[in-house]
Amino acid sequence: MVSETSHSAPATGRESRKARLERMHAEYAILCSTYPEPECALHFETPLQLLIATVLSAQTTDKRVNTVTPELFATYPSCSDLACANPEDVERIIRPLGFYRTKTKHLLGLAQVLASRFDGEVPSTMDELTSLPGVGRKTANVVLGNAFHIPGFPVDTHVMRVTGRLRWRSDWRHANPNPVAIEREITACFPPEQWTDLSHRLILHGRAICHARKPDCGICPLADSCPSAR
């Protein structure tokens, strides 16, 4: 049940841009209190490990990725080791994640490009990261924000869902929203130093409460102001 407070959910179509921005910041303050110490769910020690883990996380969970990366990282500790790896050996390790042949091709391809173009080091710019095989803006933003502490706002399915239900973005009605458009619209509303943790908190909220099929609005700390709360 949604509690009755002064922060009632705005009527559909009647919220001004200024009011929406104020609500966004008020709701984010609540998320900061609810998830005070957000962090990347993927286990890593180096930028290369995070890059590999993020590529592997496509179409699977971070928790599952964490079950195979210890062996993968121990077997191929450097970029050159992975670049020269036998594809079948890599496939065996990451098979539980699904799409293991495609992911192996991406891993070996990006390792080879890193070795040939970047001296085996993971680059720290969006353009360079997205030039690597299998690396899109979401993966690049994860690496920038968590490995290099450079502002990045990864947009995954949780971020899409939560920002849509909260109507933080103008295209919330769209069935297939554009992740790049979401990134630009949301980051325009927050200072760069908040982007990485903002993404983490939206993801945590999506996993814990704002589930895809049945959100737990009854226990949601944002229910009083969320336009989609039931």
CA-closest candidate to residue 62, choices 54, 51, 52, 71: 54
Burial (CB count within 10 angstroms: exposed 0-12, middle 13-18, buried 19+), residue 126: middle
138 is catalytic: yes
From 62, 81, 119, 156, active-site residue: 156
156 is catalytic: yes
Q: Degrees (nearest 5) of the Cα angle 2, 200, 102?
A: 120
From 103, 138, 197, 224, active-site residue: 138
**How remote is the C-alpha of 2 from its chain's centroid?**
28
Kindly state the helix (H) or strand (E) to which residue 179 belongs, with its residue range. helix 179-187
- CA 68 – CA 180 distance, rounded (Å): 30
| Chain position carrying tokens 């920038």 | 144
Q: Which residues are catalytic?
A: 138, 156
